[in-house]
Amino acid sequence: MSSLSSELAAKALSTSGLPVYDEHHTAKHVLLREYMKVWLAKLAQSYPQVAVIDGFASAGRYRDSRVGSPLIFLEAYLTHVARDRFRSPPHFVFIEARREFASHLRYEIEALGDLAGAEVDVVHAEYEDAFPTVFRWLSTNYNVPILPTFAFIDPRGYEKAPFKLLRDYRAELGTKAEAMVYVPADFMARFIGTAMTDSALDKAFGSRQAWEEIRDQAAPGAEASHQIAEAYAQVLRTEFDLVSRFVVDPASRNRYFLFFGTDHLEGLKAMKAAYWKVDPEDGRGYRQDIRAHHGQGELFAPRLEAPNAPEEDLLAQMRDEFGTRGFTIEDAELFALTKTAFRDTHVRPLALTPAYDSGNLVIIETTARRRGSFPAGTRMRFKS
């Protein structure tokens, strides 16, 4: 515990006092679990210190006894296979505005017992006040030009998470400060024309200019929602080199996005691997089955319609991108990773092998011993 921690007694809530777990939470929780495994393995072994900030932490446990994001982060560390090789234990900071949730979270953390050296703070405060204090404290105390940090910004609405704070966070902690942000696009779209939400949208987007065109021009509903997601992606791109998103479509049909910003290809690769784990059909989103909502089992949707832009399959997108000019396997992987919903690992099985087998791909240069294996440095082009 550092001086960031609030003076707060650990106090368990009764089961009925804990928040209810909505089945669609599984999507974000699987993403966090999967991403943390890779993030910790890479960064905690390479950097003297890493940090995780959960800006809207909640109680750490739900009514049905499933764990919430702060405990998912801690478990990712405590159970990590490479933990012995970390250069130092991570620093975790959990911000929660509801006192009884913050106290319960403290209780859950104490119940874990040995934290294997991790510094764990529970800050009972409003995110807007606490987040800047936290990242400044981390920057000052760890005294490093770059502190690899993962910030999870998961409010229920959007008016409490100003974009400006993400800017300040990046400015303070450097290019390895990443963020995953919840954006309730359908909800934002529904009220976009009403004056009462103007200042909330200004805050979430960091300016009026970023969203007012949508209000003036988009048809309400799915179109506005899609454009809101696009607009938010653009705003995030002003801070992060690589921005991706995953849509969650709960039974209530109030779709929201989990946006992810990083400057690092390895980070994006790991996050996309997590997207595909949750959605093995097309890696773009999770749809809660309405029957499941009524207790009849859970399904992953095969495909999601808007607000995701309709995308053709990977091979078609690569043909559009490269035409008949030469490209390398590395160009193809970078394109798939950064410009499509696919992973770099999809390039060979989903695009190059089928194109090669049907005679539509010409190999210009390769060190391959086996036909159609596309090792590093392979150069090729589509026939037509």
Ligand X SMILES: C[S@@+](CC[C@H](N)C(=O)[O-])C[C@H]1O[C@@H](n2cnc3c(N)ncnc32)[C@H](O)[C@@H]1O
Q: Which stretch binds ligand X (CB under 6 A): 53-61, 134-142, 261-269, 294-302?
A: 53-61
Q: Write out the two tokens for 196.
A: 């009462």
Distances (CA, A) of 7 to 4, 119, 383: 9, 16, 68
Task: State in angstroms the smallest separation of the CB of 12 from ligand X.
Answer: 16
Closest to ligand X by CB, 271 vs 351, is: 271
d(C-alpha 202, C-alpha 220), whole Å: 19
Our measurement of the distance from residue 252's CA atom to the centroid of its chain's CA atoms, rounded to an integer in Å, reads 22
By CB under 6 A, is residue 103 in contact with ligand X? no
By CB under 6 A, is residue 101 in contact with ligand X? yes
Task: State in angstroms the smallest separation of the CB of 359 from ligand X.
Answer: 49
Q: Which of 121, 154, 172, 178 binds ligand X (CB under 6 A)?
A: 154
In the complex, which residue's CB is closest to ligand X? 68
By CB under 6 A, is residue 69 in contact with ligand X? yes
By CB under 6 A, is residue 148 in contact with ligand X? no
Task: State in angstroms the smallest separation of the CB of 101 from ligand X.
Answer: 5
Closest to ligand X by CB, 37 vs 346, is: 37
d(C-alpha 80, C-alpha 68), whole Å: 18
By CB under 6 A, is residue 187 in contact with ligand X? no
Transcribe 140-208 into DSSP letters.
HHH--S---EEEEE--SSSTTS-HHHHHHHHHHH-TTEEEEEEE-HHHHHHTTTSGGGHHHHHHHHSSS
Closest to ligand X by CB, 42 vs 98, is: 98
Q: Which of 136, 160, 277, 381 binds ligand X (CB under 6 A)?
A: 160
Q: Which residues contact 216 (CB under 8 A, 6 or more apart)?
A: none
By CB under 6 A, is residue 97 in contact with ligand X? yes
Residue found by looking up tokens 């992060």 in the block: 240
Buried b (16+ CB within 10 A) or exposed e, 12-38: bbeeeebbebeebbbbbbbbbbbbbbb
Task: State in angstroms the smallest separation of the CB of 383 from ligand X.
Answer: 49
Task: State in angstroms the smallest separation of the CB of 30 from ligand X.
Answer: 11
Closest to ligand X by CB, 155 vs 193, is: 155
By CB under 6 A, is residue 271 in contact with ligand X? no
The DSSP bridge pattern shows strands 327-328 and 256-262 to be unpaired
d(C-alpha 127, C-alpha 381), whole Å: 51
Helix, strand, coil share (%) of the chain residues, nearest 5: 45, 15, 40
Tell me, what amino acid is at 200?
A: A
By CB under 6 A, is residue 96 in contact with ligand X? yes
Q: Give 365: exposed, middle or buried? Use CB within 10 Å, 0-12, 13-18, 19+.
A: exposed
By CB under 6 A, is residue 95 in contact with ligand X? yes
By CB under 6 A, is residue 156 in contact with ligand X? yes
Question: How many residues lie near ligand X (CB under 6 A)?
Answer: 16
Q: What are phi and psi of 382, to 5 degrees?
A: -80, 150
Closest to ligand X by CB, 288 vs 378, is: 288
Q: Which of 56, 92, 163, 260 binds ligand X (CB under 6 A)?
A: 56
Q: Which of 4, 36, 68, 83 binds ligand X (CB under 6 A)?
A: 68
Q: Output DSSP code: residue 350.
A: I
By CB under 6 A, is residue 34 in contact with ligand X? no
Q: Write out the two tokens for 237.
A: 């791109």
By CB under 6 A, is residue 58 in contact with ligand X? yes
> What would the x/- binding string for ligand X be over residues 105 to 144, using CB under 6 A?
---------------------xx-----------------
**Using CB under 6 A as the criterion, which residues of the chain lie in contact with ligand X when the complex forms?**
56-58, 68-69, 95-98, 101, 126-127, 154-156, 160
